[in-house]
């Protein structure tokens, strides 16, 4: 049994954790902020994001990209603040969500596809790719809430969690960023995926909110490990000095009003044997 330790608490709802430059960057989605925290728990506000931030990534020149959910935009953090990198409202039918950015600066952005918190019926949606010049296009359709995503170390494969299909789906990445050769990487049964991260043995850690756990999944669906958390696990990231710290974003639920009122969100950590790999 692994022991989970609380790195920081008092968050509204943490999402999109990313390890970079000795810190964990993440979105406090329902507090409309992007923050960073070091291994000692010292936090700092990176920027305010009124449109509700989610997925994070970086361009090759080091500028941060931030998904702005409710206005369905991809934002870029310049020296003078957040600027619009791309308007996705014509390509994403509902709120945007998580994202992975490849080594060339191409951002792959998922979206809900329907009003989850308004209790609408789930329906399929799109996965959008934004090139570094801001040109956006749909690269996959009929996705059941594309959520967490990873890119393998060779840059040739993107794997996305489809929350409402309870599976991980893989694509080949073309020279122009196109996604082809769609296939099921792993069926997850009763464990719908949220945020995910990849390790050096090509296994994927998956945050499973409905099960209050993170699981380590091998290609084909074998679950190699389960780690329970006290509330619900919504995202995970490998990082730390040796890449073996598993950061888990947890919260009692994802309801915006309740999250802002209770501030029950946390970043929790545990140590694992296999270090991170690939992106994010």
CA distances from 36 to 27, 39, 208 (A): 9, 10, 23
Residue 118 has pLDDT above 80, yes or no: no
What tokens does 81 get? 């603040």
Q: For residues 91 and 25, what is the distance between their CA atoms, to the nearest angstrom?
A: 27
Structure-token match 């596809």, residue found? 113
Cβ atoms of 151 and 106 within 8 Å: the answer is no
What tokens does 52 get? 């509700």
Cβ atoms of 109 and 99 within 8 Å: the answer is yes
Structure-token match 């003078």, residue found? 80
CA 128 to chain centre: 15
Residue 173 has pLDDT above 70, yes or no: yes
Among left, alpha and beta (phi > 0; psi -120 to 50; other), residue 52 is: left
**Closest residue by Cα to residue 46 from 30, 61, 66, 60:** 66
Please give the domain boundaries of the chain with CATH numbers for all domains.
5-271 (2.120.10.30)
Cβ atoms of 187 and 205 within 8 Å: the answer is no
pLDDT band with cut points at 50, 70 and 90 for residue 117 = low
Q: Render 48-70 in DSSP notation, one character per residue.
A: E-TT-EEEEEE-TTS-EEEEETT
Residue 126 has pLDDT above 90, yes or no: yes
Rounded to two decimals, what is the model's pTM? Answer: 0.96
Cβ atoms of 138 and 126 within 8 Å: the answer is yes
Residue 147 has pLDDT above 70, yes or no: yes
- pLDDT tens figures, 190-228: 999 999 999 999 999 999 999 999 999 999 999 999 999
Stated as kind and residue range, the H or E segment containing 258 is helix 256-262
- Tell me the helices (H) and strands (E) count for the chain, helix number first: 1, 24
Q: Please compute the mean of the pLDDT values over residues 27-48 and round it to a whole number.
A: 97
Mean pLDDT taken over the chain? 96
Tally of CB atoms within 10 A around 86: 22
Residue 12 has pLDDT above 90, yes or no: yes
pLDDT band with cut points at 50, 70 and 90 for residue 120 = low
**Closest residue by Cα to residue 115 from 69, 149, 50, 56:** 69
Q: For residues 103 and 154, what is the distance between their CA atoms, to the nearest angstrom?
A: 10
């Amino acid at each position: 049994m692994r022991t989970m330790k609380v790195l920081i608490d008092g968050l509204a709802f943490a999402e999109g954790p990313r390890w970079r430059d000795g810190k964990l960057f993440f979105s406090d989605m329902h507090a409309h902020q992007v923050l960073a925290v070091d291994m000692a728990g010292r936090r700092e506000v990176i920027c305010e994001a009124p449109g509700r931030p989610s997925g994070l990534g970086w361009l090759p020149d080091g500028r941060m990209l931030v998904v702005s959910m409710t206005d369905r935009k991809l934002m870029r953090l310049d020296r003078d603040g957040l600027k619009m990198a791309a308007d996705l409202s014509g390509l994403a039918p509902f709120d945007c969500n998580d994202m992975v950015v490849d080594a060339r600066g191409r951002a792959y952005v998922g979206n809900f596809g329907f009003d989850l918190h308004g209790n609408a019926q789930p329906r399929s949606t799109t996965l959008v790719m934004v090139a570094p010049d801001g040109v956006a296009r749909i690269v996959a359709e009929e996705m059941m809430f594309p959520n967490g995503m990873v890119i393998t170390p060779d840059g040739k494969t993107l794997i996305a969690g489809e929350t409402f299909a309870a599976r991980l789906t893989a694509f080949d990445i073309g020279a122009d960023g196109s996604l082809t050769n769609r296939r099921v990487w792993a069926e997850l049964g009763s464990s719908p995926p949220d945020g995910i991260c990849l390790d050096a043995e090509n296994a994927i850690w998956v945050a499973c909110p409905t099960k209050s756990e993170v699981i380590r999944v091998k290609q084909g669906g074998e679950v190699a490990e389960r780690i329970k958390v006290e509330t619900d696990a919504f995202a995970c990231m490998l990082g730390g000095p040796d890449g073996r710290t598993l950061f888990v974003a947890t919260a009692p639920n994802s309801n915006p009003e309740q999250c802002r009122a209770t501030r029950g969100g946390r970043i929790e950590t545990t140590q694992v044997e296999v270090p991170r790999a690939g992106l994010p």
